[in-house]
Structures are given as structure tokens and as C-alpha cells.
Amino acid sequence: MTPFAYHLARDPADALAALTAPGGNTPLGAASFLAGGTNLLDLMKENVARPMRLVDLNQLALARIEETPAGGLLLGALARNADTAYHPLVRSRYPLLSAAILAGASPQIRNMASNGGNLLQRTRCYYFYDTGTPCNKRSPGSGCAARGGLTRLHAILGASEHCIATHPSDMCVALAALEAVVHLRSARGERQLAFADFHRLPGDTPQHDNTMAADELITHIELPPARYAAHSAYLKLRDRASYAFALVSVAAALALDEGGRIVSARLALGGVAHKPWRQPEAEAVLAGKPPEAAHFAAAAAVLLAGARGESVNDFKIPMARRAIVRALEVAAAGTPGPACGEEER
């Protein structure tokens, strides 16, 4: 871990000023916001991140979860993942988000991790984390050691020759399906980004995970009015039953009419690409159809169009296809209640 100056920000303006303030040899970009710290501190210990100044956001009044006039929900960027997942309004209106958050990390980490930080967590690619190896994301231009290496966890969609890393978040998969909006603030003012436009594909600049500017701060994540509370499911496939990153995950949400037909569908995949993977064309396949396996399979085929493995991770393609179908089936049958033991049933 590199030495750094520490600034406890009073409010967003102060935080933004501290981020960009000159001082010593702390150039713009070498300062970093600190919220939960659950990913940043780990990266700093591994010398993957070497900020020279940390701006602690934890005193900022951005931890609230409140309803919007439009009938949606505004999640404070500093609300903790656990508080978000267990919030009564999130549970009742966005059970998909609640389930996705609770499928990630551990209770301790969810108690620390902020909503904003969850969006900014970095890939689990072995090579990104090991400074003894080349990595274009960590050290642009050094090459991608993952290609031709250990690719079991890597992307099957949207990868480039420069990077085949995946985004590790569960929460973001649900946010993608729910069409959340990210609220950003900088010295230049405020702006909003559709979730689909927030994360990006690696292309030839894999060092950038998202489209935020270096001087911007996430203030809120807005959820549009709930449409999918009754029929949603988050299915996460991983190497052990808990506390593991996804091999493949699916956020599936359906709105059904009174006759049981699908009015609209939302589908997003985790663990398969540099960002939560969503294709409106796949969702369109389901509109107006009855919730049946054949249509689910058709949607899966569209969502996975162009999927290509690195041989070791080829299994993710059928796994994702089946997971999409399963998740849609579960969603169609009704959002599962919070899981509890068989002995209680």
C-alpha cells in the first residue's frame, strides 16, 4: 500500500473539491473517493490501486433510501448494500434487487459496501490482481495475460483482444434489469446516466470500467416505478453455495397481464461480460407471449447471440442459456420468498 493523504469530506462539494484539488504531487486522477473501502483497500494492499489521496465520503448525507415523486425509489450512493437489501420498500417493490445484493459477498462486506461503490467494484480476473503479470486493465498497454491463460471466470460476450475480464457485481445485474438510473455530480453540475450506459465494454481501453468522468461522484441510484415485484428471480451459479463470485448469474423480471401473458420482460446476465449483459431484443422476444419454456429459450438464444468462449469457459454458454430459462420459469411462477429452510416449511 502506497502512502496517501486522507481527507474526510463534509459534503459533496467539499468531496469534489478535495478530489481535484492540487497539492503536493497529487495530480488529478491520483486521488480517489473512499466509501465502504471493501474493494479499494484490497486493491491498494495488492498495489493494484495506488491513490495518493483518499477522500472519505462516509460523512456525506447520501445514505438515505426514499421514494421519488414519480413512484420510484432513490437509493443513496452511501446507503450500505445490506441496508438496501433489507429495506422494506426495496424488499416489497424490488425483490430482485434485494435478492441480487444478498447473493453477493458476505454479510460483513454487505454491511460495509456502499451502493455507489458496488457499481465501481473491479474485476476478479486473476491477472488484474497479480502485479507479477501483465494486464491491460491494470497497466494499459502491458498486454492481456488472461488470453490463452486461465479463463474459467472470463467473458463469453463483448470481450476484446485487449481484455476478457468480467464485471463481478451481483447488484448491478439486477440494476441493469430494473433499468436504474445513475445520478452523478461534478463541479460542472449534475447529470443522469441510464444504467445500460454506465458500464462499458473493454474495447481498446479496458482500464476504463465505466463512462464516469474522473471528477464525478455518484450521488444516487434511481429505480423507476416498480413493475416486476410479483415476477422476478435472481439466479446465481457459483463454485460454492455462498461467498463466491458468479460463474453465471441471471436477473429475470416479467410483467404479466391478467391473462398471464407477458407484457414486458427484463433480462440481464452477470459473470459473462465486462458489464451486466442486457439486450432489449431478447426481451422483445417475450413481449405478448405466454410464459413458456420455448419462448424463454428463444429469448436466451437472442441474449446469447455471438457468445464465444475461450475454451476453458465454454461451459458458460450452455450454463447461461439454461440459467436464463430457469430464472424466467421461476419468475413466471412468482417471485420466490426469502429463502428459508425446509424444516420451516
Partner 1 sequence: MNDLIQDLQSPVADAGTGFVRVGMPVSRVDGRAKVTGEARYAAEHPAHDLAYGVVVGSTIARGSIAGFRLREALAVPGVVEIITHENRPRMRSFDLFYKDMTAPAGAPFRPLYDGEIHFSGQPVALVVAETFEAARYAASLVAVDYLPQQHETNLMAHLARSHKPKPLKAGFSPPPDERGDAEAALLAAPVRIEAEYYSGVEHHNPLELFASTVIRGEDGHLTIYDKTQSSQNSRWYVSRVFGLGKDKVTVRNPYVGGAFGSGLRPQYQLPLAVMAALQLRRSVRVVLTRQQMFSLGHRPETLQRIKLGADHDGRLRAIVHEAVAETSRYEDYVEVVVNWSGQLYACDNVKLLYRLVALDQSSPMDMRAPGAAHGVHALEVAMDELAWALRLDPLELRLRNYAEQDQMKGLPFSSKALRDCYEQGARRFGWARRPLAPRSMRAGSELVGWGMATGTWDAMQMFARAGAVLHADGRLVVSSAATDIGTGTYTAMCTLAADALGLRLEQVMFQLGDSTLPVAPIEGGSSHVATVGSAVAGVCEKLRKRLFRMARRLDNSPFAKARFDEVEFAGGGLRLRRQPSVAMSVEEVMAAAGEARLEEKYLMLPKVLKQKQYLRATHSAVFCEVRVDEAFGTVRVTRVVSAVAAGRIISAKTARSQVSGAVVWGISQALHEETHADHRLGRFMNHNLAEYHVTVNADVGDIDVIFVDEDDRIVSAIGAKGVGEIGIVGVAAAVCNAIFHATGRRVRSTPMTPEKVMAPEGDVSVSAAL
Partner 2 sequence: MDIPVRNEGGAGAQAAPRYPLSLRINGQPYELEVESWVTLLDLLRERLHLTGSKKGCDQGQCGACTVLVDGRRINACLSLALMQQGREVLTIEGLAEGARLHPLQRAFVAHDALQCGYCTPGQICSAVGLMNEGQARCRDDLRELMSGNVCRCGAYPQIVDAVEEVMFGSAGAEERDRPVIVGTVPA
List residues binding partner 1 (CB under 8 A).
1-3, 45, 47, 124, 126-127, 129-130, 132-133, 145, 148-150, 152-153, 237, 239-245, 247, 293, 315, 318-319, 322-323, 325-326, 329-330, 333
Quick note: the x/- pattern for partner 2 over 311-340, rule CB under 8 A, is ----------------------------xx
Q: Where are the alpha helices (DSSP H) in the chain?
A: 12-20, 40-45, 81-85, 88-93, 95-102, 107-112, 115-119, 126-129, 171-177, 195-198, 280-286, 293-303, 316-333
Select the binding partner of residue 256 from partner 1, partner 2, none (C-beta < 5 to 8 A, by kind).
none
Buried b (16+ CB within 10 A) or exposed e, 304-334: beebebbeebeebbebbbbbbbbbbbbbbee
Instruction: Determine, following the binding rule CB under 8 A, whether residue 106 of this chain makes contact with partner 2.
Output: yes
Which option in partner 2, partner 1, none does residue 261 bind, with CB closer than 5 to 8 A by kind? Answer: none
By CB under 8 A, the count of residues binding partner 2 is 39
Query: CA–CA separation, 157 vs 41, rounded Å?
Result: 29
With contact defined as beta carbons under 8 Å apart, do 129 and 44 qualify?
A: no
Q: How many CB atoms lie within 10 A of CB 240?
A: 6
Task: Specify the residue, 92 or 131, whose C-beta has the smaller distance to partner 1.
Answer: 131
Q: Which does 111 bind (CB under 5 to 8 A by kind): partner 2, partner 1, none?
A: partner 2
Distance (Å, whole) CA 80 – CA 91: 15
Reading phi first (left if > 0) and then psi (alpha if -120 to 50, else beta), residue 215 is in: alpha
Smallest distance from partner 1 to CB 92, Å: 22
38 binds partner 2 (CB under 8 A): yes
Stretch that binds partner 2, among 3-11, 116-124, 187-195, 213-221 (CB under 8 A): 3-11
Piece of the chain touching partner 2 by CB under 8 A; list 108-116, 136-144, 171-179, 294-302: 108-116
User: What does 148 interact with, of partner 1, partner 2, none (CB < 5 to 8 A by kind)?
Assistant: partner 1
Residue showing cell 446469447: 304
CB burial class (10 A; 0-12, 13-18, 19+) of residue 342? exposed
Binding of residue 241 to partner 2 (CB under 8 A): yes
- Rule CB under 8 A: is residue 34 a binding residue for partner 2? yes
Q: What is the 3-state secondary structure (H, E, C) of 67-84?
A: ECCCCCEEEECCCEHHHH
Q: Which is nearer to partner 2, 6 or 259 (CB)?
A: 6
Q: Please, which residue, 238 or 261, has the CB nearer to partner 2?
A: 238
* Region label for 239, one of left (φ > 0), alpha (ψ between -120 and 50) or beta (otherwise): alpha
Minimum Å gap between C-beta 222 and partner 2 is 26
Find out whether 283 and 298 touch, Cβ atoms under 8 Å: no
Note whether 88 binds partner 2 by CB under 8 A.
no
End-to-end CA distance of the chain: 49
343 binds, among partner 1, partner 2, none (CB under 5 to 8 A by kind): partner 2
Distance CA 64, CA 178 (A): 19
- To partner 1, the closest distance from the beta carbon of 343 in angstroms equals 11
Residue linked to cell 451486466: 276
- Judged by beta carbon, residue 280 or residue 338, the one nearer partner 1 is 338
Furthest CA-CA distance within the chain: 67
Q: Say which entry of partner 2, partner 1, none residue 5 contacts (CB below 5 to 8 A, set by partner kind).
A: partner 2
Output 84 or 249, the one with its CB closest to partner 1.
249
Interface residues with partner 2 (CB under 8 A) are 1, 3-8, 18, 24-25, 34, 36-38, 41-42, 45-46, 54, 56, 58, 82, 86, 105-109, 111-112, 241-243, 339-344
